[in-house]
Amino acid sequence: MSDLEAPLSRGSGPIHRLDPRARLLALLVFSLPVALVHSQASALAALGFGLLALALTRPAPGLVLRRLLAVNAFTAFLWVFLPLDGQGEALFRLGPLAYSHEGTRLALLLTLKTNAAFLAVTALVGTIAPQDLGRALQALGLPEKFCHLLLMTHRYLFVIQREFRRLLTAAEARGFKPRTNGHTYTTYAWLLGMLLVKSWDRAERVHQAMLCRGFNGRFHSLADFSYGARDAVFLTLAVLASAAVAGLPFLRGVS
């Protein structure tokens, strides 16, 4: 299993012992106020709760750090462009460009909210094995076809990725070197076309194999979920944390 194939699901932290359905509900309850708040204090509180949830998963620091860097590579663009909206008081100037205080504040708010949401998703969903995730979503009432599509996509996305690498390695063994010219673009187009044909052929073979094994449109999981007192306590704490994130601006206003 590669680093991309849910490595966090193999842990043994307190989060892993929770019912996957409770974790999904907790994420839903927590993500709504995180997405809607406009206060930096609330965003900081959400980030703190996300860090706490992640600590309970006991992840490998290097894995989380790599993913955080990937996420914040996108938020870095917010810091470049949002302060240049030209509205509000100028924080500082770089020649003709003025970085506004309001734009910088908005970039900080979005960065905090993005990282808080990422940490929550990593802790609550990244720790669920893919086969259990589909079963939990189905138990929560999502359409079966959606859950099947999620499971099959996760299963064969990495297969297609390895197949593309194999095709690319074969092309490089024959002297192909990527450049910015028509030959490179044509080669990549042929590689993608071959990948599409191979993926279609594999899908047909997998479907036939599933039918031979009695597949009738419904996946049967061996996962046995058990919702207990520990899950209820965790879900209650998630609701309280969400209420704290949503209500913090009002509490600060009252004080």
- Please provide residue 68's backbone torsions phi and psi, each rounded to the nearest 5 degrees: -65, -40
Residue with tokens 């609550």: 124
Residues 6+ apart with CB under 8 A from 185: none
Higher pLDDT, 86 or 51: 51
- How are the residues of the chain apportioned to helix, strand and coil, as percentages rounded to the nearest 5? 75, 5, 25
Note down the domain range covering 194: 137-212
32 and 118 belong to one structural domain: yes
3-state helix/strand/coil string of 40-82: HHHHHHHHHHHHHHHHCCCCCHHHHHHHHHHHHHHHHHHHHHH
117 and 234 belong to one structural domain: yes
Look at residue 82 and tell me if it is in a domain.
yes
pLDDT, tens only, 20-72: 889 999 999 999 888 888 888 899 999 999 999 988 888 888 888 898 998 89
Look at residue 8 and tell me if it is in a domain.
no
89 and 156 belong to one structural domain: no
- Average per-residue pLDDT for the chain: 84
64 and 186 belong to one structural domain: no
pLDDT reading at 2 higher than 60: no
How many domains does the chain divide into?
A: 2
118 and 241 belong to one structural domain: yes
68 and 50 belong to one structural domain: yes
Look at residue 50 and tell me if it is in a domain.
yes
In this prediction, residue 3 carries a pLDDT of: 41
DSSP string, 191-223: HHHHHHHHHHHHHHHHHHHHHHTT--S------
Look at residue 221 and tell me if it is in a domain.
no
Distance CA 125, CA 67 (A): 14
pLDDT, tens only, 145-168: 888 888 888 888 888 889 999 999
